[in-house]
Structure 1
């Protein structure tokens, strides 16, 4: 059981440039952040700089039988945190990540199982983050999350994630 005010132990870092095992990372995430097990995340994959989750709508239904906005918002925020954390881990950096600012635009009801995609807003965002970390020991990156039901874009979110100094 997690204790209030106590950090959860980090996963050991992978070798530089190596990707985390998605199943292992999601298992750790579910232990570190208890609500994760209730979000309906089925699978996590990568496509270049894009992080992709496949999710089950059943775990996130509202009273109308569609996606609950609060759950969808939590998922987009968490996904940006995961994107940033996984990027740091690929670069052998153990740092704390926090969301500094986030916004969402709900475009259509979520009526079926769905996928979330997260990627940097700017193509050079990861390079700028690397430069900031090298120069100042901390940095920020803006990420965009998009929720798709089939070919329909249902939600767009944007988050500014801060990587804190130190370890």
Structure 2
């Protein structure tokens, strides 16, 4: 187990124009963030500009037998961090990402396995981040996360993610 204050080794960047192998990224992420293997992440995929995670409810139960808000909050924050990190990697950039602000609205109980989706808040957000990185070497992006159990929207979240200057 890693000690506090010791960063996890970075995952090498993918070859230009190849994109990440999401299974390899998930395996690295499970090593880098010790909580992740306990959150029921079954897999991830891209659907256009949206990152989608498939998750199991069983490891995220609360005392009422539905989704535990703390787990759902951690997952919504982490998928946003992952979206930003994967987007940077696709641009050939290896920079640190941190969440600076996040909010959640719980709309319905999560009663079964679920899907978590993450995409930019608007269609210009990624282009705006590209411009910020080109101009200043750092930037911010706002991402929206939505959690669905079957067709029911159970959670909406929003997070601001900062890309720190390259070290």
- SS of residue paired to 1:100: strand
Structure 1 CA distance, aligned partners of 2:15 and 2:138? 22
Structure 2 CA distance, aligned partners of 1:161 and 1:60? 25
Structure 1 CA distance, aligned partners of 2:17 and 2:120? 18
Residue 81 of structure 1 is matched in structure 2 by 81
Task: Give yes or no for the alignment of 1:98 onto 2:98.
Answer: yes
Write the mapping of 1:1-167 to structure 2, written as runs, cut at 5 A: 1-167=1-167
- SS of residue paired to 1:85: helix
List runs of 5+ in structure 2 lacking aligned partners.
none
Moved runs in structure 1, 4+ residues, more than 2 A?
none
The normalised TM-score by structure 2 is 0.99
Shift of 1:150: 0.7
List runs of 5+ in structure 1 lacking aligned partners.
none
The normalised TM-score by structure 1 is 0.99
- SS of residue paired to 1:18: coil
Structure 1 CA distance, aligned partners of 2:19 and 2:48? 11
Shift of 1:18: 2.1
Structure 2 CA distance, aligned partners of 1:17 and 1:160? 27
Structure 2 CA distance, aligned partners of 1:32 and 1:51? 19
Shift of 1:162: 0.1
Q: CA RMSD in A?
A: 0.6
